[in-house]
């Protein structure tokens, strides 16, 4: 039955298959090899890494999408290497990185919430960059909090990607309406509460004195820790294994917030706010003053004042948050990835991209630049950044950020509940930290 | 057919064994795709979960070796283990009673031929066309005291839908009833229409009232359908996750953590320990198997007694 014609057709079909397969393999080899045969390891890379037209992958979480996009676009337009950016929703980021780490498919570069960096460094997700970072001429100027968070047993793993600081923002127009001085920030938390109540007393519909995220552990860490620091206390011991959240200053802080909440000067939805919309009220001009992320300065359209977060009696501090960035253990393009990281630390990126966008620079020697001079608020932020802190603990996520964290229970009991039991709740935080 | 007929004869025996061997092979070939699917998508993951539950397996650093039974000890001593089981059972009872009751009621309503039959059936079924996650997001906005359409109402009542433990539970149950009542209506409707008209006719001739017909004819004959619906509903509710993950995240004050959410939290939200999460999963699996067997048994026994 088989005609010679049929056989040739079958042979042709098989040849086509083989050819297609070979082509696919060749393409795969091409993309993984980056089209070059040179050494891609970190050790073989020069001071600024390799720029040879490789494709790099970069993951970041959604809150820093704007800054990440600007940085990647600027890098891609000035380098042969091309960075492919993937933005992951905040809540899914840990799960996605975890799954990728298990299947050895992490991207070349990835940013991590700075409070998770100690844990991720310990899990071995980042490559050791100690010798590379030490060789940077401006190493001493790089933000210390971020470097410290990425240091494990004397080995450095991350550089700051984007800094995000918690600052006191106030709506100058609402301040004027309430008869407050729009150019002076409250100097203590008690003054802050008094100002919030005055704005509340204006009785403008849908407008509230202040707002916060009372069901969002991450927001509360970010905005409430600085008050304790500014008052001269610590939130944890040096090793990050013991909580110190029942100090007199901490208790005073909870008491002021408790009074504020009971007085009705806090945006009501703050009570259930789990994070997604915790800044929305202020952004829309419906909140008088609040502790707010400095990365949102550039998207604040109205006239807002900016200052450090005040302590109980005096002082100011900030939470130096944001994301650190490192080269993943799975990267096959470490030399190229290092090229991106050194560029990220350069003046081109720090001033030309971040400062231009109104963001905080990661190098103190670049804090005064042509953009910061135009906006004194940026100078304020840069100055407070030097006084801020980045808490370091291995179990930070479980103790503070998780939706079922003991820190969240502590704040909710102290502010919304009966106000007692802070010492007991503090022990519960310690129990998780000490695991 | 002819092959089978030939089989017993002596002459055809050798021929038939090769034939039957071939047909056996053919049978395996037919079953192979399903078998491979079951193996790859069910058996292997299941074995992996068993392995995980007996190993020290952090999310970020992978398998670190066997540590049985430490994961199980940590699982049952987790500070939310008991609370999450109690809450899940509470939610399951509420959801099952409401869904089966409402499903039955709606099915009876739309079974009768009326002018509105088509419209009603469609109206009840439409929410089922929406994914559960999308439906949860929709309700998240509806319930939001900030962006929702009821924001004003909530403000004047001084009450938020998701702000209190009971409020969060009932708000979620409402979403589930809205989303699934149509589905259970459809399921029960199929069962109702499978009851032959003759039985009703006989009941009518015997002079049974409407109520008697329902209790003594409809309900007993609907038992297999109700059994299926209950098993589906109980299993689905015990494994509830998306609705709570999106609407409440276990809040307020950890009052709405379901068992599956606990597994997710342990695996991805803080503790990041796949071993303990797998241990809870195995415990839930065993519990589900027992509950399902008990349910099917109890429904099966009843008709035999009557």
pLDDT tens string, chain A, 435 residues long: the values are 344 455 455 555 555 555 555 544 444 444 443 434 457 888 777 788 899 999 999 999 988 899 999 999 999 999 999 999 999 988 889 989 988 998 889 999 999 999 999 999 999 999 999 999 999 999 999 998 899 999 999 999 999 999 999 999 999 999 999 999 999 999 999 999 999 999 999 999 889 999 999 999 999 999 999 999 999 999 999 999 999 999 999 999 999 999 999 999 999 889 888 888 899 999 999 999 999 999 888 888 899 999 999 999 999 999 999 999 999 999 999 999 999 999 999 999 999 999 998 888 999 888 888 888 888 888 888 888 877 899 999 999 999 998 889 999 999 999 998 888 999 999 999 999 998
* pLDDT, averaged across chain B: 88
**Which A residues, 108 through 127, put their C-beta within 8 Å of a C-beta on chain B?**
119-120, 123-125
Average pLDDT over residues B49-69: 91
Q: Is residue B258 domain-resident?
A: yes
Select the residue of B58, B61, B252 nearest A215 (Cβ to Cβ).
Answer: B252
CA angle A161–A166–A171, rounded 5-degree value: 125
Sign of the Cα torsion A281, A282, A284, A288 reads: positive
Residues of chain B whose beta carbon is less than 8 angstroms from a beta carbon of chain A are 58-62, 80, 144-147, 155, 160, 162-163, 249-254, 257, 265, 267-272
* Residue-level pLDDT at B16: 65
Same domain, yes or no: B39 and B149: no
| C-alpha A365, offset from chain centre | 21
Q: Is residue A216 domain-resident?
A: yes
- Name the residue in chain B with its Cα closest to that of A409: B253
Same domain, yes or no: A243 and A340: no
Cis omega before residue A112 (within 30°)? no
Angle between helix B117-125 and B165-193 (nearest 10): 140
- Mutate which of B270, B274, B275 to test chain A, going by most A C-beta atoms within 10 A? B270
Same domain, yes or no: A93 and A140: yes
Q: Which residues from B are below 8 Å from A277, CB to CB?
A: 144, 146-147
User: Using one digit for the tens of pLDDT, what is the confidence trace for B106-115?
Assistant: 999 888 767 8
- Name the residue in chain A with its Cα closest to that of B269: A402
- Tell whether the model's pLDDT for residue B17 goes beyond 80: no
User: Which residue, among B91, B145, B244, B255, has the nearest Cα to A417 in the 3D structure?
Assistant: B255
A158 within 8 A of A150, measured Cβ to Cβ: yes
CA angle A354–A355–A360, rounded 5-degree value: 80
3-class SS at B250? coil
Same domain, yes or no: A276 and A400: yes
For B2, residues 6+ apart whose C-beta sits below 8 A from its C-beta are none
3-class SS at A158? coil
* Residue-level pLDDT at B303: 52
Same domain, yes or no: B232 and B263: yes
Average pLDDT over residues B214-219: 92
Same domain, yes or no: B123 and B38: no
Same domain, yes or no: A237 and A327: no
* Residue-level pLDDT at B251: 77
pLDDT band at B271 (very low <50, low <70, confident <90, very high): confident
Q: Which residues from A are below 8 Å from B61, CB to CB?
A: 101, 123-124
The DSSP output letter for B205 is H
* Residue-level pLDDT at A3: 47
Return the CATH number at A328.
3.40.190.10
A100 contacts chain B (CB < 8 A): no
Q: Tell me if A397 and B269 make a contact (CB, 8 A cut-off).
A: yes
Same domain, yes or no: B19 and B107: no
Range of the domain at B83: 74-305
Q: Which long-range contacts (CB under 8 A, 24 or more apart) does B60-68 make?
A: B60/A97, B60/A98, B60/A101, B60/A119, B60/A120, B60/A123, B60/A124, B60/A125, B60/B272, B61/A101, B61/A123, B61/A124, B62/A101, B62/A102, B67/B275
Range of the domain at A295: 165-318+392-433
3-class SS at A289? strand
Same domain, yes or no: A147 and A193: no
Report which of residues B179 and A19 the model is more confident about. Answer: B179
Q: Which residues from A are below 8 Å from B260, CB to CB?
A: none
Q: Is residue A16 domain-resident?
A: no
Separation in Å, CA B243 to CA A267, B161, B192, B207: 26, 14, 30, 48
Same domain, yes or no: B7 and B110: no
Same domain, yes or no: B131 and B19: no
Q: Is residue A47 domain-resident?
A: no
Strands A304-307 and A155-156: unpaired
* Residue-level pLDDT at A31: 43
Min Cα distance B264 → chain A (Å) is: 9
- Tell whether the model's pLDDT for residue B89 goes beyond 50: yes
Q: Tell me if B60 and A274 make a contact (CB, 8 A cut-off).
A: no
Same domain, yes or no: A302 and A336: no
Select the residue of B251, B269, B271 nearest A274 (Cβ to Cβ).
Answer: B251
The alpha carbon torsion through B31, B33, B35, B37 (nearest 10 deg) reads -160
- Tell whether the model's pLDDT for residue B8 goes beyond 50: no
Rounded Cα distance, B95 and A232, in Å: 52
Q: Is residue B104 domain-resident?
A: yes
Q: Tell me if B268 and A401 make a contact (CB, 8 A cut-off).
A: no
Q: Is residue A343 domain-resident?
A: yes
Return the CATH number at B221.
1.10.3720.10
CA angle B273–A322–A257, rounded 5-degree value: 90
The alpha carbon torsion through A262, A265, A269, A270 (nearest 10 deg) reads -80
Chain A to chain B Cβ contacts (< 8 Å): 85
The DSSP output letter for A270 is G
- Tell whether the model's pLDDT for residue B306 goes beyond 60: no
Min Cα distance A48 → chain B (Å) is: 29
Same domain, yes or no: A382 and A401: no
- Tell whether the model's pLDDT for residue B204 goes beyond 70: yes
* Residue-level pLDDT at B158: 77
Same domain, yes or no: A313 and A345: no
| C-alpha B185, offset from chain centre | 15
pLDDT band at B163 (very low <50, low <70, confident <90, very high): confident
User: How many structural domains comprise chain A?
Assistant: 2
**Two structure tokens written together for B169:** 């539970």
* Residue-level pLDDT at B14: 58
Same domain, yes or no: A272 and A145: no
Same domain, yes or no: B100 and B238: yes
Same domain, yes or no: A152 and A67: yes
Rounded Cα distance, B239 and B248, in Å: 16
Report which of residues B71 and A387 the model is more confident about. Answer: B71
Same domain, yes or no: B22 and B145: no
Same domain, yes or no: B239 and B201: yes
Same domain, yes or no: A125 and A216: no
**Two structure tokens written together for A129:** 């960059």
For A14, residues 6+ apart whose C-beta sits below 8 A from its C-beta are none
Same domain, yes or no: A380 and A402: no
Q: Which residues from B are below 8 Å from A280, CB to CB?
A: 146
């Amino acid at each position: 039955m088989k005609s010679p014609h049929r056989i040739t057709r079958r042979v042709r079909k098989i040849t086509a298959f083989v050819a297609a397969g070979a082509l696919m393999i060749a393409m795969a080899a091409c993309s993984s090899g980056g089209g070059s045969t040179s050494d891609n390891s970190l050790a073989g890379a020069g001071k600024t890494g390799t720029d040879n037209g490789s494709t790099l992958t970069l993951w970041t979480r959604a809150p820093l999408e704007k800054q990440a996009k600007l940085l990647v676009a600027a890098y891609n337009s000035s380098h042969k290497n091309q960075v492919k950016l993937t933005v992951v929703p905040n809540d899914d980021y840990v799960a996605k990185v975890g799954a990728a780490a298990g299947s050895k498919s992490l991207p070349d570069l990835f940013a991590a919430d700075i409070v998770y960096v100690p844990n991720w460094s310990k899990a071995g997700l980042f490559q050791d960059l100690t010798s590379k970072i030490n060789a940077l001429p401006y190493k001493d100027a790089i933000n210390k909090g971020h470097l410290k968070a990425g240091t494990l047993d004397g080995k450095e793993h991350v550089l700051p990607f984007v800094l995000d600081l918690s600052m006191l923002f106030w709506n100058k127009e609402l301040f004027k309406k309430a008869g407050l001085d729009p150019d002076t920030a409250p100097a203590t938390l008690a003054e802050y509460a008094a100002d919030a109540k005055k704005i509340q007393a204006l009785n403008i519909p849908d407008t509230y004195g202040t707002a916060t995220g009372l069901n969002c552990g991450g927001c509360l860490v970010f905005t409430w820790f600085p008050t304790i620091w500014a008052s001269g206390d610590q939130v944890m011991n040096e090793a990050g294994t013991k909580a110190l959240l029942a100090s007199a200053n901490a208790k005073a802080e909870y008491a002021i917030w408790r009074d504020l909440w009971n007085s009705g000067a806090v945006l009501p939805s703050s009570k259930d706010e789990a994070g997604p919309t915790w800044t929305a009220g202020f952004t829309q001009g419906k909140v008088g003053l609040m502790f707010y992320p400095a990365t949102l300065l550039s998207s604040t359209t109205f006239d807002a004042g900016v200052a450090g977060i005040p302590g109980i009696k005096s002082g100011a501090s900030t939470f130096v948050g944001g994301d650190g960035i490192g080269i993943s253990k799975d990267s096959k393009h470490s030399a190229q990835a290092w090229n991106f990281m050194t560029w990220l630390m350069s003046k081109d990126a720090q001033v030309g991209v971040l400062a231009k966008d109104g963001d905080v620079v990661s190098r103190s020697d670049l804090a005064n630049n042509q953009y910061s001079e135009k906006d004194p608020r940026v100078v304020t932020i840069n100055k407070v950044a030097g006084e801020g802190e980045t808490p370091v603990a291995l179990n930070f996520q479980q103790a503070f950020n998780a939706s079922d964290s003991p820190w969240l229970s502590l704040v909710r009991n102290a502010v919304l509940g009966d106000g007692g039991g802070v010492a007991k709740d503090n022990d519960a935080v310690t129990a998780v930290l000490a695991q | 057919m002819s092959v089978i007929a030939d089989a017993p004869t002596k002459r055809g025996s050798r021929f038939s064994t090769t034939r039957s061997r071939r047909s056996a092979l053919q049978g395996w070939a037919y079953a192979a795709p399903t078998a491979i699917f079951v193996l790859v998508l069910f058996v292997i993951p299941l074995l992996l979960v068993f392995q995980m539950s007996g190993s020290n397996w952090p999310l970020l650093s992978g398998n670190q070796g066997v540590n049985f039974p430490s994961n199980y000890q940590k699982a049952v001593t987790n500070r939310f283990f008991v609370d999450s089981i109690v809450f899940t059972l509470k939610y399951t009872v509420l959801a099952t009673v409401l869904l089966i009751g409402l499903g039955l009621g709606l099915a009876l309503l739309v079974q009768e031929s009326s002018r509105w039959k088509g419209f009603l059936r469609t109206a009840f079924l439409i929410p089922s066309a929406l994914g559960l996650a999308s439906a949860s997001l929709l309700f998240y906005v509806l319930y939001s005291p900030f962006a929702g359409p009821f924001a004003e109402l909530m403000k004047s009542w001084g009450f938020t839908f998701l702000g209190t433990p009971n409020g969060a539970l009932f708000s979620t149950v409402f979403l589930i009833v809205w989303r699934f009542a149509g589905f259970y209506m459809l399921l029960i409707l199929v069962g109702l229409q499978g009851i032959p008209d003759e039985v009703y006719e006989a009941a009518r001739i015997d002079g049974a009232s409407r109520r008697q017909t329902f209790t003594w004819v409809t309900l007993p004959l609907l038992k297999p359908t109700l059994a299926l619906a209950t098993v589906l509903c109980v299993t689905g509710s015990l494994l509830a996750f998306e609705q709570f993950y999106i609407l409440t995240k276990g809040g307020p004050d950890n009052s709405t953590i379901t068992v599956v959410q606990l597994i997710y939290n342990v695996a991805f939200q803080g503790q990041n320990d796949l071993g303990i999460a797998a241990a809870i999963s195995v415990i839930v699996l065993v519990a589900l198997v027992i509950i399902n067997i008990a349910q099917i048994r109890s429904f099966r026994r009843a008709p035999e007694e009557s």
